[in-house]
Amino acid sequence: MNKASSSDANGQEKERDSRFSSMQQSELEALAVSAILEHRRLIAAAEAVYEEWTRASADPSFSAAVLKSLQDEYVARQKKSEVQQEELSEIIDALGYIPEVPLDKHE
């Protein structure tokens, strides 16, 4: 079973390599910068929902349904961020380095 898993991992690794292998370094760098900026936005949005959820949790006037909705939204945003992080990691692996990314005006 470990052998199959190892084989699957190698297949996934080759798939990742081929996904970005035809791109020029300048294209990969631009894609990496864009993905990093998107990741920052996703993290900030998830943090905003988390803060709202935390504030609502401390306020007894919020219903359990509202708290559950905020929790679900936070979890969904975390999952989206995780998927995007995996793609970003693949791009950076293909590029071979982490490019410099300017700070956002809000940072």
Helix (H) or strand (E) holding 44: helix 25-57
Residue 97 is classified by DSSP as: S
Question: Which pLDDT tens digit goes with each residue over 40-95?
Answer: 999 999 999 999 999 999 999 999 999 999 999 999 999 999 999 999 999 999 99
Residue with tokens 């199959």: 4
pLDDT score of 10: 52
| pTM greater than 0.85 (yes/no) | no
Question: Which pLDDT tens digit goes with each residue over 12-35?
Answer: 555 555 688 788 999 999 999 999
Distance from C-alpha of 40 to C-alpha of 91, rounded to nearest angstrom: 16
Distance from C-alpha of 48 to C-alpha of 53, rounded to nearest angstrom: 9
CA nearest neighbour of 54 among 67, 73, 40, 72: 67
